Amino acid sequence: MRHLIVLIIAALLGLSAPAGTAQTSCGKAGLPCEVGLGGYHIALPEDPAPGPIPVVLHFHGAGGTGSGIIGNKGMMKPILERGYAVIAPNGLGREGRRGGFWSFIPGRPIRRDELAFTRQVLDDAVARFGIDRQRVLLTGFSIGGSLTRYLACQAPDDFAAFAPVAGGFWRPHPTDCAGPIKMLHTHGWRDSTVPLEGRPIRGGEIHQGDIFQGLQLWRAENGCTAGRPDRFNVKGPFWRRVWTTCDPGTALEMAIHDGAHGVPKGWSKMALDWFEKVVPKKGASN
């Protein structure tokens, strides 16, 4: 009751809410945490290990929402049970349409600096929830996967690793990135929404890029000596293509499944297994 009275008095006097107010509300009951350029949703593991909490930051697809990601139990449960938090930022609103989108496609007006927004989200989550800034797996689905690739290209050192799903670069493809990365790209063999070869959108006004051409850029950034993969694994639901003759400290892998456009069953476990291999916990070894 006293806390409520303080809030009411602050509102009447035009004062800011007391320190700690946002901490008690945002991230709970579906309420987003707000930063300067937008908002995000977060789910925390029930019993985290001592110390900073590793995190999967996931960008939703076109028309999606951060709350929708948090509500996706099939994807969320394996991540939270492994002791990771999940951060799901909100895309920009679209007039007359549900859900959000991300502003980064080449040749289109830029309405928000998505890298600056993502940095604000992580800085805020570190301060509020004790997130481990050194163990961030950046992921996204569809156009959120595309955004993941562009942020990997723009600021590879901002994140520990990248795991886009069903999203790639757009044409014209980037010709250079800011440095090497650790990336696991997942894609459906039968994806017709974001085909492996890309496709024109809006009568050719914009054009999805070629996934394999994007991998060629990452091979160059990672110093891989061959175009073809060095290792294959076709056991289980994911067919894996792995490039290993690359610069130390890099990682590049592609996982293909037989489905269409979606986050496939088993992806969360696969992605975290891969992440913990290429970004081992302190005191662990590869």
* 255 strand-pairing partners: 186, 240
Q: Label residue 30 by pLDDT band (50, 70, 90).
A: confident
What percentage of the chain exceeds 90 in pLDDT?
A: 83
Task: Report d(CA 70, CA 76) in Å as an integer.
Answer: 7
Pairing of strands 33-35, 38-43: antiparallel
Mention the CATH class of domain 25-278.
alpha beta
In this prediction, residue 283 carries a pLDDT of 59
Q: Please compute the mean of the pLDDT values over residues 211-231 and round it to a whole number.
A: 97
Q: Please compute the mean of the pLDDT values over residues 55-74 and round it to a whole number.
A: 97
pLDDT tens digits, one per residue of 2-12:
333 333 333 33
Does 51 have pLDDT greater than 90? Answer: yes
Q: What is the DSSP letter of 202?
A: T
In this prediction, residue 18 carries a pLDDT of 35
- pTM for the model stands at 0.90
Q: What is the mean pLDDT of the chain?
A: 91
In this prediction, residue 169 carries a pLDDT of 98
Q: Ramachandran region of residue 162, left (φ > 0), alpha (ψ -120 to 50) or beta?
A: beta
pLDDT tens digits, one per residue of 82-105:
999 999 999 999 877 889 999 999
In this prediction, residue 7 carries a pLDDT of 38
Yes or no: say if 85 and 121 are a contact pair by the CB < 8 Å rule. Answer: no
